[in-house]
Amino acid sequence: MRLAKFLAHAGVASRRAAEDIVREGRVTVGGEVVTDPARDVDETSRVAVDGRGLRGAEERTVYLVNKPRGVVSTAKDTHGRPTVVSLIRGERARLYPVGRLDADTTGLILLTNDGELANQLTHPKFQVPKTYVAEVTGGFVPEARLRQMREGVELEDGKTAPAQVRQVDAGVLQITIREGKKRQVRRMIEAIGRRVVSLRRVRFGPLGLGDLPPGKSRKLTPAEVERLRKTAKA
């Protein structure tokens, strides 16, 4: 098995993030630093990350978290801010977020130690839908502005793909996108001349936030994880 895939299966990080970890010289195989993510390894290869030995694949697990405002979507934070991983209590697996929500965005985020699944859910080619509810400035948004978002708006890093947009109340928009540009929903709203007052993600693929309170989490059932896998491969 390739080293990056081995790390992903061991719950270190997603496969793409694992490749970066290897290239940074943080991984040893048999006591020697290896910087090639494609290096072949197995359970007997004595793989270690930052000096910590790995014992192969952990049990795969996925959590759904309702991220509060001010919590960052990383496993660790150098500035001492609370992280989404710190919201999970009593879980021994090394979890990391599937994609990111910025600190001011609340709502549904997934945490897992399954690097392969995380990669599939975030890879652009699979176009997994994500739904947000945004309260915007200025009250009622004219239909012409909504149509702009549905057809795609020009951002500095390119035009967005068509989005599903409806106004559920005056100045409250439900937006479904299948891309992952940085702060995309906020920038789309700015492109039509409004600003975000609050932004919450309510769905990720087939999963909804439901009535899970802010700051709380729940472990997904095997059936829910399987639905995620099918969505990512659709």
Given a cut of 70, the residues of the chain with pLDDT beneath it are: 55-58, 234
Nearest partner of 155 among 133, 197, 185, 176, judged by Cα = 185
Is residue 72 within 8 Å of residue 84, measured between CB atoms? Answer: yes
Q: Which CATH number fits domain 62-124+207-233: 1.20.1250.20, 3.30.70.580, 3.40.50.1100, 3.30.565.10?
A: 3.30.70.580
CA proximity to 4, closest of 17, 18, 14: 18
* CATH class entry, domain 129-204: alpha beta
Beta-bridge partner residues of 100: none
CATH architecture, domain 3-53: Roll (3.10)
List, for residues 44-84, the tens digit of each pLDDT value: 888 888 888 876 556 789 999 999 999 999 888 888 899 99
Selecting among 40, 50, 102, 169, the annotated active-site residue is: 102
CATH code 3.30.70.580 region(s) in the chain? 62-124+207-233
Would you call 77 a catalytic residue per the annotation? no
Name the pairing type of β-strands 96-97 and 106-112.
Answer: antiparallel
pLDDT tens digits, one per residue of 202-229? 999 999 999 999 999 999 999 999 999 8
Q: Where are the alpha helices (DSSP H) in 10-133?
A: 15-23, 115-122
Where does the chain hold its CATH 3.10.290.10 domain(s)? Answer: 3-53
